[in-house]
Each structure stands twice: as C-alpha cells, then as structure tokens.
Amino acid sequence: MAALSPEKKKRTTTLTPEDFTAQPEVREAVAKVLADFKGTQPKIVSDVIDDAGHQYVNLVQKGGGVLGIALVGYTYVLEQAGIRFLKLAGTSAGAINTSLMTILKEKEDAKSEAVIQILCDLDFFSFVDGHPAARWLIRNFITHENFNRIMLRWAIIIGSMLVLLPLLCFVFFGLQHQHPALAVITQTAFGLTALGFVAICVFSGWVGSLLSRLKNAGFGINPGDTFYDWIKKIFEANGIHTVEDLTTKARKRPASLRVRENAPQTLENLDGDVTFITAELVTQNKIQFPAMYNLFRAPGDKPIHPAGFVRASMSIPVFFESYMIPDIDCTRPEIVKAWADTFFEKDPPGTARFVDGGVLSNFPMNLFYNPALAQPRLPTFGIDLDDSNPNDKTKNPYFWTGGGYLGRVFNTIRFYYDKDFLIKNSMYQAGVGSIPLQRFKWLNFFLDNQDKVDMFICGAQAAQRFLADFKWEDYKQTQVAARKQLS
C-alpha cells in the first residue's frame, strides 16, 4: 500500500480527502468498477433505479470500533459505481457510518466524500475522554505491541521481590547474631519489605477507588460525552434536531425512483429507512432505534435527541459508560402498551441502560428480510469487518488459553443471532462483502494517518472484489427458490 509522507504520517489532523481517494490502490479499484458499471453494458445489481441511472440497494454495516474507517472506503467505491442506499442499518461503528450516510445530503447524492472530510477533521483519540491515567493506559496497552509484556515483566519482578524480601529478612535476622555485620543488610531488607507492603496497600486502595468510580460512572472508563457532542453537532448541522426529523429524512425516497421496465414488482411500500442496533440491559432486549423510540417516550414527553441512538449503539462495555434514558413515564398507557406489544413486558423500566449493540447483533442482516415478496426488488448488501487472526482459528480446543476460551464463549453468544439468520437464509450471504483487517486493532483510537488510509484502501479493494463477483440474477433466483422451499 502506498505510504504517506513522513510529515503526514506523524500528524493526525492534516489529512485531506485526496489522501484517501487519490491512493493508487483506490484509483485502481474505482477504475475497475467504472469499467463494469459505466461501459456499454453496465452491470446490473438492482431492479430499483432512478432517472439518473443510480441503482438502489439496502445496506447493513457491521460494528468494529475504529475499523469503521474501512466501511467508508467500501461505500465510497459502491457510490462510484452509481449505487445508492434506500434502507440502512448498522451497529456500533456501523451505526456511525449509517447515521452519516442517512443525514448527509439526499438519497440520490454520493455521500462518502463528505464522510471522508469528517474523518479528516476528526481526532479519534478525543473520544477517549476519561481520566488522564485511563487515557495513558488505553493508549499504551492498545498502541504498543509489547506493552503487555513489559507490564507482565514488571509484575513478575515486583512479585518476586515481595516474596524474596520477607524470606531474606528472616534469613539475615537469624544470621546477624552470629555475624553482626549482616545487621545493616537485615535492616535494609526489613525497610524495603515494609515499603513494598505499604505500596501494595496504597495501590490496592487506589484500585478500589477506581472501581468505585467505575461503578458510579456507569461501569465505563470514558464518559462518551465527546462522541455524543460530536455526532449531535453533525446531526444538527444537517437539519436533524428531533426523532421526527431523522425518520422523515430516512424514509424520503427520490422523486424519480422506479423499478426497471421488465421487473414484475412495483414501488408499493418501498420507502427508505434507518436502524441503529443497541442492547438494553434492564429488560435484556435488543432495541432498534428509531423504530422503538415509543418504548421510551410518548407524545408530549421530554424528547430524546436522535444522536443518542448512535451513542447507545456504540457504547462498548467498560470502554464507554452506558447510555442512559431516564424518566420513562411508565404510567403512560402508550408506553405500557408499546412494551407489552413489543416484548410482552408488563413492567416497563423507569430508566433504560444501553450498551453496544454488538453484544447481541453486530451484523443485523435480518432487518430487511421481507418474506411477503416472491422476488426481491433490490438486494441487501452487507459489509463485514473481518479482524479475526488466522492463527487463533485452531480447531483443537486443548491448545486454547484461558483468554482464548473466554473469548470464544463471548463470541459464540454475540455472533450466534446474526449467524443463525445467515445459515437459515444463505441466499443473503451472496450480498455480503468482507474486508480483511487482521493487522489492525479495533480499539486503537490513537491511529496514525497511515493506518487510517490503509484501512480505507482495504475497504475500497474489498468493495471492488465484491461487485466483480456479485450477480443480481443469481441473487434473485436463489431467493425465489428459497421461498418456494419454505412455502
């Protein structure tokens, strides 16, 4: 991959959109796509089009922390192919790009370049807005490959000293009666031992106070206020101040939208939409915003800013504080009915607490499944962020570490819901493109410029490969055959 100049690589606030889009690999990917989509026989990927020749698809974007930069590279190439997005959904980082792709400009407009400009202006590490000590630890643990080893080495050294010093104290204490010259060494050993245990007590007290602060802060190291203020400012700069503003913008479809002449369907009930996935802990449910907004507010209640939906979706447990919706008026019949109809919940919570939607559904490909249609009018494209390490994919469980075991337990739980849908509806897999991102860390908020550009390139190349392989007629026929089997 082409490298940036040393000056640009070091500084984190001097990127321009051209630093992303003018990369040779990106230009090559775009050129290949244009050859397929703008030639004498343009490639068809959807039966829903507009008078400008744009083809419309639904888009689902997977969560993955800062790996979301690759999503922008992917959507950039899709837009260069003339593809536009009618319904959008995403979780966590996917929710962030989904929100930007929804609120910027109009549906028929290309939006990725505006998103790239937002990336250029953004200092990712500003989102790590917790205590300075926490910022230092996060920065070092995540960005330095050997930091964990260094910390482990120091822990071993300190632990060994705390074991050996008391032992030396007793040994020299017994020998000093026969060898008075050892008295000085004995006193030094006792002094160092006392200092060590005092340090342990102080450190334990400090850790205890941090844990207490963590609990009081909603079990999150970072408040997440910087992110909320950032995304809210973008929402409002684009005229989105209320939930109604968001849903109106998302549902609006281009005036010239139509289906191809030879397509059997119509545009009936085909409007735009947007969905952000989050997990609500009090009732232990998956929440889809803004569709389920009526669970938390009734007409006339104090409104929630729609930027909170994205903040709720990206609330990585422990890393960020939970997003809270307080003052839910459980006496309102509308709210009681909404909970009963949606989740059979007879006792709605007075306060709701949200964490990252990825703990339940990190890749919600099921959202736009419509069993009522005999044949799809447009495909659902999904962007998968693959940061799995091939070296960790051993099939032999006897070689797993404790961390590896716990990681697999957690991943089995959080990936099962989405994986189960794709297994039962394998035709949707044809719409999924995967971006290989194994060398990047999803929580590395202290990215340098080169990492940002490289992730963007990975996304652009993955989009080009996906479009080259995607066959709309095969996609349609596979879904038609699957529906016949189920009927």
pLDDT in tens, 297-313: 999 999 999 999 999 99
pTM: 0.85
With a cut of 80, say whether residue 189 has pLDDT above it: no
Query: From the candidates 47, 356, 384, 418, which is the catalytic residue?
Result: 356
**What pLDDT score does 11 carry?**
43
Rounded percentage of the chain residues whose pLDDT exceeds 90: 59
Q: Is 99 a catalytic residue?
A: no
- By the 8 A CB rule, do 343 and 39 touch? no
* pLDDT tens per residue, range 79-108: 999 999 999 999 999 999 999 999 999 999
**What pLDDT score does 25 carry?**
98
How many other CB atoms are found less than 10 A from the CB of residue 42? 14
Query: From the candidates 19, 50, 92, 322, which is the catalytic residue?
Result: 92
Q: What is the full DSSP assignment across 37-48?
A: HSSSS-----SE
Q: Is 356 a catalytic residue?
A: yes
For 352, the enclosing helix (H) or strand (E) is strand 352-356
Rounded percentage of the chain residues whose pLDDT exceeds 70: 83
Mean pLDDT for all residues in the chain: 86
Sign of CA dihedral 46, 50, 51, 54: negative
Structure tokens at 47: 């039966």
With a cut of 80, say whether residue 146 has pLDDT above it: no
DSSP state of 189: H
Number of residues written out for the chain: 487
- Residues pairing with 385 in the sheet: 435
With a cut of 70, say whether residue 164 has pLDDT above it: yes
- For 439-457, b/e burial (b = at least 16 CB within 10 A) is ebbbbbbbbbbbbbbbbbb
With a cut of 80, say whether residue 328 has pLDDT above it: yes
What is the rounded CA–CA span in Å between residue 382 and residue 59? 6
**What pLDDT score does 404 carry?**
67
* Phi, psi angles (nearest 5°) of residue 127: -70, -20
Q: What mean pLDDT comes out for the span 201-210? A: 65
**What pLDDT score does 12 carry?**
45
Q: What is the full DSSP assignment across 229-241?
A: HHHHHHHHHTT--
Q: What mean pLDDT comes out for the span 371-388? A: 88
Residue for token pair 């004498």? 40
Kindly list the distances between the CA atom of residue 166 and the CA atoms of 172, 189, 192, 298, in Å, as whole numbers in the listed order: 10, 8, 9, 66
The radius of gyration computed from the CA coordinates of the chain, to the nearest angstrom, equals 27
Per-residue pLDDT band for 178 (boundaries 50, 70, 90) equals: confident
